[in-house]
């Protein structure tokens, strides 16, 4: 594993342990060249996923992009980092278990909406405002009004 600080290819694993949800292995690494320490995560990848965008473009699934979207929606909300990571793991596992190598971005968006709807209403509205492309204040009013009906 290459050192993220100096680029040295010869790093050493000092400690390995499973993550809290047993979905990954957390490895503490040490670089003898610059004496830095860093953490890596090893996850099982059941299949290569390709995301089909609304415009028909196809891109490889990026867990980091999913995490970024969750972080933006949950910014300054009382949700721990580990919980966000578990949500991303859960969504990725659900996508992989669909049995398809290609998945529409709408499916991912709806999965995120479902999770955020149960977890935090503010994050749910934040995510929905981007996902559903709100243009005006009345779009928010209409959406928030529909929350009371659920």
Sorted by where each begins, the domain ranges of the chain are: 1-44, 46-149
Positions of the chain with pLDDT under 70: 45-47, 148-150
pLDDT tens digits, one per residue of 6-48: 999 999 999 999 987 777 899 999 999 999 999 998 877 666 8
Q: How high is the pLDDT of residue 135?
A: 75
CA dihedral 84→150→96→76, nearest 10 degrees, is: -20
Strand ranges inside 7-87, DSSP E: 12-18, 24-30, 37-43, 50-52, 58-60
Which residues, other chains included, contact 131 with Cβ-Cβ below 8 Å and sequence gap of 6+? Answer: 109, 112, 113
Give the tokens for residue 124.
Answer: 């749910």
Q: What percent of the chain has pLDDT over 90?
A: 58
Strand (E) positions, the chain? 12-18, 24-30, 37-43, 50-52, 58-60, 102-104
Instruction: Note whether 129 and 86 are within 8 A (CB).
Output: no
């Amino acid at each position: 594993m290459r050192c993220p600080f100096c680029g040295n290819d010869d790093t050493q694993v000092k400690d390995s342990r499973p993550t809290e949800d047993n979905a990954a292995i957390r490895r503490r690494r040490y670089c003898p060249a610059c004496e830095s320490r860093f953490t890596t995560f090893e996850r099982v990848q059941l299949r290569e996923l390709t995301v089909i965008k609304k415009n028909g473009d196809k891109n490889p699934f990026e867990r980091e992009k999913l995490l970024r979207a969750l972080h933006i929606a949950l910014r300054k909300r009382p949700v721990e980092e580990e919980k966000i990571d578990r949500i991303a793991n859960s969504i990725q596992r659900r996508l992989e278990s669909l049995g398809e190598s290609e998945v529409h971005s709408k499916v991912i968006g709806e999965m995120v909406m479902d999770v955020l709807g149960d977890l935090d209403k503010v994050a749910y509205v934040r995510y929905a405002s981007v996902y559903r492309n709100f243009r005006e204040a009345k779009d928010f009013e209409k959406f928030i009004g529909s929350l009371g009906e659920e």
